[in-house]
A and B are shown apart, each in its own frame.
Chain A
Amino acid sequence: MQIGMVGLNYKTAPVEIREVLAVPAAELPAALERLNGLAVSESVLLSTCNRTEVYAVGQDAQETCAELTQYLAELGRFPDPEGLRPYLYQKAGMDAVTHLFRVACGLDSMVIGETQILGQVRDSYRDSDQAGTVGKVLHQLFEQAIAVGKRAHTETRIGQNAVSVSYAAVELAKKVFRSLDGRRCMAIGAGETAKLTVRHLQASGVREIIIANRTLERARCLAREIDGIAIPMSELPAYLQQVDVVISSTGSADYILTLPMVAEAVRHRRGRPIFLFDIAVPRDIDPQVATLDGVFLYDIDDLQAVVTANLKERAEEAKLVERIVAEEVDKFRTWTASLEVVPTIRQLRDKVEAIRQREVARTFNRLPDLTDRERAVIEAMTVTLVNKILNAPTQRLKGMADQGEADLAIETVARLFDLPLAKGEPLLREGRG
């Protein structure tokens, strides 16, 4: 038995290929139906806009992967699987396990550390499970993959720090204000990035949004859309002193916010800081404004620089996540190794338990005068005895299996205890495929 996977992602396949293989929700049942018909014992289909991957457990890694390639070709209605092959990657054994764990953590994503993929892994596992294609091995594998993804996000900061300009602005504001609850914000101009930033600010608790625009009608229109207040440009200086965050994105060639204007507003704010985001090119805010006390001014390049720094920070955290992935792959390896000796352990326990019950019954027959309490004590003693004796061999069996000596362990135990030779599925014995 081997785990195998075949798939493609944004790194290996252009969008024309990816979109053909991305399974829309409506076609998912049919795709899973077909998955159920494959000559493999278990399978899961993971399909997002950036990747389509199939995981399966089969007798032989090579055959399993060929089967999966065929499946993907049919999924994309490719007449010849060879046409798809250049875009595919395939992995077997522990490589496939490592790959899935890395995917779940967002290490393989376009934006490193994004969390959406974890939900997609969870959903595809659930869907395949409902379609009845998931068995013992993939059940364990995907449950663990989801746990690894969660662990990566709680134990490291891989998913933290904004990776978009609009969100970077919100994050910067949060580095100054304890919370954005109830803060006021002003948008000058009504560009797309400004709108996005305002939405992020609203999601972070900003309640009052003031929109200033050259044409009041457009300001009113946007104000209705995002539940704000529209003002004409002429009233801008009066409102400036009331707001904590300003996002400017007009197409004006001159400065909209000049040094005296901001200086006046700052004087009225009595030291309370004000955030100015100038995402317009050419710029809307006089750069001299940044010299004022209590003013934090960022232009589009600054925000880009934050995003770049954040991505670097995430890449640093990714090193920690790789360590977590390696740990978890080890755990999975141990689990699969223990599968081999599970039947032997069960036989051993059954045999000893049978002896115990027989001997206890015989003893009680010989001692009919025992009270119920005395019987219970003797019974408990034999249970403890058996458990204590079997504890070490059980641990050793698992330990030896973990070290690749399952055959030797099974044979030894079978001979010593006169058990029939019973071996579990040698799942993923060799890590590479």
Chain B
Amino acid sequence: MGLLLATMLAATAALYTLSAVAHLFYLFRRGFEGVARCATRIAWGAHTVSLVLLVVHTGRAPVHTHFEFSFLLTWLLAAGHNLIDLFRKNQMAGPIVIPLVAVLQVVGVALPTPGIAHFGDMQLPNALVGWHIWVTMLGYGFFVASFVAGALYLLQERNLRVKRWGPLYYRLPSLEVLDIWGGRFVYVGFSLMTIGLAAGIAFAQEIWQHLWRLDPKVLFTLLVWLLYAGYLLMRNLWGWGGRKAAWWSVIGTVGLLINYLVVNALSSLHRYGV
């Protein structure tokens, strides 16, 4: 079981890497759509099987280690991409989403599993921890979606400016549509993140009797939260959008990823397994 799981995990990461390369080629020239689509679907299939194996193997929801969390998050992202491809016959989100998924996967597989988060041992309100984790993860998903919309906006805007008529030019919706969807994704992501943070604060209140501890992750998250709050404020109050908004959502998600990949390791509270 352990060996099978390890093989499947490695295979999934390898397939996503292949799919990411195909998608990046597709950005510049035609003829790679089929390979990219097939590789992504097979990778996602392997991903789904691995996820089931992982849950059966560990006997718990796959959010107890940093790797498990990444594995589930990337599964959600790839699922979103596949759904758009299936229903809208458009795989243009792929060149942005799939490389990100591949990187998260490879990082997850390559890094030694640090250990298991210890919140499982606490006899305290687990429901709050659940809310904190699951809702925040969904929020992350929506933020990444806004990142994709923003990055595609910037690429398409550049195409229109430098007059380059590649595959991307033909397949993307209008800049306005990308802008609107980017805004919607941030709106949903922000709402979910706020609920997730509130749950985290409530949980901290119950066990440590104060709202939060001075923790790098908590501080950095607050920063990201403020960044997105600023985005929504500007958008709604000043009718702000377009290129600046696209950059803002790209920067926001980069901050989110730094928070997730780097700051986590510095945190005493949010580090998995001590």
Contacts and interface: CB of A to CB of B under 8 A. Distances in A.
B175 A273 contact: yes
B163 A302 contact: yes
Name, among A271, A290, A306, the residue most crowded by chain B CB atoms within 10 Å (CB to CB).
A271
Given A296-B160, A296-B161, A176 B170 contact: no
A310 B169 CA distance: 11
Nearest to A297: B161
Most chain A CB neighbours (cut-off 10 Å) among B161, B163, B170, B173: B163
Contacts of A306: 163, 165
Interface in B160-197: 160-161, 163, 165, 169-170, 172-177, 180
In this complex, the interface size class of chain B, counting residues with CB under 8 Å from chain A, is 20 to 34
A264 interface: no
A310 B167 CA distance: 11
Interface stretch (B38-46, B75-83, B135-143, B239-247): B239-247
A270 B242 CA distance: 11
Nearest to A270: B239
B30 interface: yes
Nearest to A302: B163
A157 B173 CA distance: 15
Interface string A162-180: 0000000000101111100
Nearest to A316: B30
A176 B176 contact: yes
A177 B174 contact: yes
Most buried by B among A161, A294, A302, A309: A309
Interface in B121-167: 156, 160-161, 163, 165
Interface in B233-253: 239-244
A305 interface: yes
B170 A313 contact: yes
Interface residues of A, number: 23
B241 A176 contact: no
A178 B84 CA distance: 19
Nearest to A309: B165
A175 B174 contact: yes
A123 interface: no
Interface string A254-279: 00000000000000001101000000
A82 interface: no
Nearest to B167: A313
A303 to B, nearest CB: 10
Nearest to B243: A293
Contacts of A172: 160
The 6 closest A-B pairs by CB, nearest first: A309-B165, A178-B176, A176-B175, A178-B177, A178-B174, A271-B242
Interface of A: 157, 161, 172, 174-178, 270-271, 273, 290, 293-294, 296, 298, 302, 305-306, 309-310, 313, 316
17 contacts: A175-B156, A175-B172, A175-B174, A175-B175, A176-B175, A176-B176, A177-B176, A178-B173, A271-B241, A271-B242, A294-B242, A296-B161, A298-B163, A302-B163, A305-B165, A313-B165, A313-B170
Given A306-B163, A306-B165, 14 more contacts: A175-B160, A175-B169, A175-B172, A175-B174, A175-B175, A176-B175, A177-B174, A177-B175, A178-B177, A273-B242, A305-B165, A310-B165, A313-B165, A313-B170
